[in-house]
Structure 1
């Protein structure tokens, strides 16, 4: 098995990497693997399972989404956006959608996770879930595939589920 921490192939003894000592949670790794899958059915199944942990008031699914985002972005240092109660200018609300579509065109949702999540948050403040579906379809069309919509959904759900758990006063473990 390839160690997710050091990246080396190793015979795992009790799911501990012999190279770096990292303790591997196989269930977690399988969930992250599904969340990074390019196959839509596998990704959706992983997203459904990750979100189910939120309904059980557990951060486990959020942790898996965060790890999937880090691996897809190829960066350990991700600054996730935490939406709060803020006011924006009308211009920011008006431009959020076009900026999201511009990022989708460049396949740039993971280039700056914090910015992308902030734009999603700004955009959501002005629109309904029907508009959300329209935006998703446009992202798929513009980016010519499912990879960016998967990234968009990971970023949205990580932010949303974190907010839900924080509102429920669930503490990160």
Structure 2
């Protein structure tokens, strides 16, 4: 799929075949990026930050590889959201129905459903604070909500340490700029 997408972009941009190197997809440690300092004008991440177990190292590396004035745009699937335990079906985005045997926000309550992927369990404020240590925060907001219909008064009381926004924000966006 990646190869096909690259060819479509090449065609849409009217680029010669030689314009795209064969070595553009890298595997590595995001906490130790294999790039020189101040190499990029933009870094993006979609639904990955919730899996990074050493978020400060990752944010520090993004800061290192970005040029002054460059931007970082991240979309985080928040752990505190209804599907944040990554153990509900992703057939629906956002989640609209839950099987009757599953309790909403189980991952914040009983934890009957196991996690199948690494999750750092960071909260919205932790991400904002960490990005704010290195970058100028341009904007941060919830781009997609889910689960409001499951948030009963009883659940709100049980999960009172979490804000409504934390519990219902599926996709949290942070746009930040490296100081010039």
- TM-score by length of structure 1 reads 0.27
**Structure of greater relative contact order (alpha carbons < 8 Å, 6+ residues apart):** 2
More strand per residue? 2
More helix per residue? 1
- TM-score by length of structure 2 reads 0.26
Larger Rg: 2
